[in-house]
Amino acid sequence: MSPILVRPVREQLEHDRVIRLLQTKFRRKYEAGMNPGVEQNAPVGSGPGALYPDLVLQSQDRGHRLQIVVEVETGESVNHLEALAQWAHFAKIRAAFHLYVPAGMVDVARRLCEDNHIYVAEIWSYHTVGDQVRFTLVHRNREAPPAQPRIRTPAPPRATPPARASSRPPARAASSHKKTARPAKAVKKASPSRKQKRR
């Protein structure tokens, strides 16, 4: 439940209307459960530690894996208390955390997230034009969420079988280099013999 126990009636109606509009929008792609007002229809987790964000978006396959949690705020609820009591917990869930705030509160919401080190995947603004509510993406965090590093244990070395003793002498490895021909020795000319000199 929000730390703001009594939200103005007008803001509460606007808050629940935005939730229903988003549920209709996301229903095409996700299994969308919502928790408007004080309702607790779609929990994240179980037991006393369960969380109830405004929207819980799960995949449509058999595993129904949690994909996105959405929190919608009004002008009164974008404050330091709300950020610590709810946003900080939603940011630690293993799913993308999307925050929707009124158009005039975008800078305040962004500063609260930065000051309190709250990781938000996307921040959206919304404003009413006549009977329509328009949504605008104002911030997308491209960095990966902080995660604890995995500790890898090295694989045990494979045992090598002992080498068998062989009675045969090891074969000589064939040389890959060709033998280079040695240069022929210069043949000395035979000096004339003494008999030839006497002639």
Residue 152 lies in a domain: no
Taking the C-alpha atoms of residue 113 and residue 92, their distance in angstroms, rounded to an integer, is 13
Q: How far apart (Å, rounded) are the C-alpha atoms in residues 112 and 119?
A: 11
Distance CA(38)–CA(77), nearest Å, equals: 15
Percent over 90 (pLDDT), the chain: 59
Distance CA 118, CA 26 (A): 24
Give residue 56's pLDDT band: very low, low, confident or very high (50, 70, 90). very high
Parallel, antiparallel or unpaired: strands 132-140 and 55-58: unpaired
Question: Can you read off the two tokens belonging to residue 178?
Answer: 């060709």
pTM over 0.85: no
Domain span holding position 112? 9-40+52-140
Asked if the structure places residue 177 within a domain, the reply is: no
Q: How confident is the model at residue 7 (pLDDT cuts 50, 70, 90)?
A: confident
Percentage with pLDDT > 70 across the chain: 69
**Is 47 contained in some domain?**
no
**pLDDT at res. 153:** 35
The answer to the question of residue 124 being in a domain is: yes
39 by DSSP, 3-state: which?
coil
pLDDT tens per residue across span 156-179: 455 555 556 555 655 555 444 455
Task: Inform me whether the pLDDT recorded for 58 exceeds 70.
Answer: yes
> Tell me, what's the pLDDT at 158?
56
CATH code, domain carrying 99: 3.40.1350
d(CA 43, CA 56): 8
CA 187 to mean position of chain CA atoms: 82
Give the rounded distance of the alpha carbon of 42 from its chain centre.
Answer: 25
